[in-house]
């Protein structure tokens, strides 16, 4: 039986995965799936600046849908960036070819006090608008994902001003002025709740929090500073839709991350999915975790790792994904092979989902 024969409603499948259920097949998408490995994305970027694409709903919609059109991914993530709210909170933001740059970073209590809790329906209206248009364009059967940066990862950029290994300035701020840093994380959390609620109101099926840099902290600091701010966001959303929490290099933090309140934990390839499932139990769904660099390997390697990843959870409470964003020079045919391999594996009785359509 092929996946076409199953004719599965992608949204049902995705939501069932988020609830930890046994699945006829595992939904698959890729972080950063709208991006530079796609020639049609590069074509748009040749004509428009990155932030211009984010802030022009027609362009954001087009690039969000590109990977769905070409690869048939099972979820569409809206095209935007985790730094968009930093700008709406009052920081200057540039996003050039060398990555993000915030020329007036947050370095003091006065800087933190100036950060605005913005109204997402006016200050970042382009984002809910893009979600509404994507939903309209692809219809009700395809899940559309909203997202935001998690407080610590966003704070890393707001304090450091750019990507920097180790984020020493951010850590130094945290160690010297723990109270002010708490206030910064709390303020980001308070701004993020309405920002995500606006995306949910616009039709997001689920939302993902990106905490790329939380693995930089030890368990104690993670528990004291980061976890409460993540919990504040997730509980503030009030179970409107499933929440996926992405963390990288976070093996040492997993016991704490399990208490975030997220329905789905998205992890990288440094952790063993089966081991996390044994430790955390079946209620928390898992997303991941193929190394994006595997997509530079030969077809047999891509298939082998994808199948091993799928088999490690046996098609229960699993969303197949990469462990971090797809890399810019990835051959499109390898991304295609990853998606197709993931979608071809059938697990539990496929009939209910097929009939649910
Ligand atoms: O997943 C998607 O397809 C949706 C879009 C998306 C982007 N950034 C587009 C983007 C998402 C979900 C993000 C999240 C994001 N942005 C994170 C968290 C996930 C991660 O990758 O760690 C972070 C840390 C950022 C901040 C950011 N934005 C950096 C560090 C950079 C520069 C590095 C790079 O990849 O170029 C960006 C720019 C960016 N954001 C690009 C894209 C497609 C590349 C810009 C371009 O097109 O020139």
Question: Would you give per-residue pLDDT tens digits along the chain (357 residues)?
Answer: 344 445 679 999 999 999 999 999 999 999 999 999 999 999 999 999 999 999 999 999 999 999 999 999 999 999 999 999 999 999 999 998 788 999 999 999 999 999 999 999 999 999 999 999 999 999 999 999 999 999 999 999 999 999 888 899 999 999 999 999 999 999 999 999 999 999 999 999 999 999 999 999 999 999 999 999 999 999 999 999 999 999 999 999 999 999 999 999 999 999 999 999 999 999 999 999 999 999 999 999 999 999 999 999 999 999 999 999 999 999 999 999 999 999 999 998 765 544 444
The ligand 1 atom nearest the CA atom of 163: 30
What pLDDT, on the 0 to 100 scale, is given for residue 12?
97
Ligand 1 pocket residue status of 29, Cβ below 6 Å: no
Question: Token digits for 190?
Answer: 């308070």
Report pLDDT digits (tens) over 187-209: 999 999 999 999 999 999 999 99
The protein residue whose alpha carbon is closest to atom 34 in ligand 1 is 99
Ligand 1 pocket residue status of 155, Cβ below 6 Å: no
CA 23–ligand 1 middle distance (angstroms): 30
The span from the first CA to the last CA of the chain, in angstroms, equals 17
CA 355–ligand 1 middle distance (angstroms): 38
Three-state secondary structure call for residue 180: helix
The ligand 1 atom nearest the CA atom of 53: 47
Pocket test for ligand 1, best of 325, 328, 335 (most atoms within 8 A of CB): 325
- Cα 178 to Cα 17: distance, rounded to the nearest angstrom: 38
Residues with a catalytic annotation lie at 32, 36, 45, 81, 157
CA 82–ligand 1 middle distance (angstroms): 7
What pLDDT, on the 0 to 100 scale, is given for residue 98?
83
Spell out the residues 6+ positions from residue 354 whose beta carbon is closer than 8 angstroms to its own.
6, 7, 8, 24
The ligand 1 atom nearest the CA atom of 328: 35
Spell out the residues 6+ positions from residue 137 whose beta carbon is closer than 8 angstroms to its own.
61, 65
Angle, alpha carbons 176-177-180 (nearest 5°) = 165
Ligand 1 pocket residue status of 82, Cβ below 6 Å: yes
Ligand 1 pocket residue status of 83, Cβ below 6 Å: yes
CA 81–ligand 1 middle distance (angstroms): 6
Ligand 1 pocket residue status of 30, Cβ below 6 Å: no
Spell out the residues 6+ positions from residue 106 whose beta carbon is closer than 8 angstroms to its own.
91, 112, 115, 155, 158, 159, 184
Q: Using CA atoms in the order 147, 143, 281, 348, what is the torsion angle rounded to 10 degrees?
A: -160
Burial of 276 (0-12, 13-18, 19+ CB in 10 A): buried
């Amino acid at each position: 039986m092929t996946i076409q024969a199953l004719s599965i409603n992608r949204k049902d499948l995705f939501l069932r995965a988020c609830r930890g259920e046994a699945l006829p097949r595992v939904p698959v998408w890729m972080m950063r799936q709208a991006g530079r490995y796609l020639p049609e994305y590069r074509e748009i970027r040749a004509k428009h600046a990155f932030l211009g694409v984010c802030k022009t709903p027609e362009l954001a919609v087009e690039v969000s849908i590109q990977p769905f059109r070409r690869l048939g991914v099972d979820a569409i993530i809206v095209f935007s960036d985790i730094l968009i709210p930093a700008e709406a909170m009052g920081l200057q933001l540039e996003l050039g070819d060398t990555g993000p740059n915030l020329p007036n970073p947050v370095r003091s209590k006065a800087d933190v006090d100036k950060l605005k809790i913005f109204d997402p329906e006016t200050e970042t209206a382009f984002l809910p608008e893009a979600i509404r248009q994507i939903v309209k364009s692809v219809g009700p059967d395809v899940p559309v994902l909203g997202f935001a940066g998690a407080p610590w990862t966003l704070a890393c950029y707001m304090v450091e001003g750019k990507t920097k290994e180790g984020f020493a300035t951010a850590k130094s701020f945290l160690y010297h002025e723990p109270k002010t840093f708490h206030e910064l994380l709390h303020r980001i959390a308070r701004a993020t709740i309405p920002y995500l609620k606006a995306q949910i109101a616009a039709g997001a099926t689920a939302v993902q929090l990106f905490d790329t840099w939380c693995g930089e902290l030890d368990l104690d600091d993670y528990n004291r500073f980061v976890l409460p701010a993540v919990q504040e966001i997730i509980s503030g959303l009030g179970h409107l839709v499933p929440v996926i929490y992405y963390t990288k290099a976070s093996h040492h933090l997993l016991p704490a991350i399990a208490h975030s309140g997220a329905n789905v934990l998205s992890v990288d390839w440094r952790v063993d999915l089966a081991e996390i499932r044994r430790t955390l139990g079946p209620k928390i769904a898992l997303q991941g975790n193929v190394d994006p660099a595997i997509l530079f390997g030969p077809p047999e390697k891509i298939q082998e790792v994808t199948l091993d990843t799928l088999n490690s959870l046996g098609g229960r409470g699993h969303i197949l994904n990469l462990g971090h964003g797809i890399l810019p020079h990835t051959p499109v045919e390898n991304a295609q092979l990853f998606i197709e391999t993931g979608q071809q594996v059938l697990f539990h009785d496929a009939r209910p989902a097929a009939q649910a359509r």
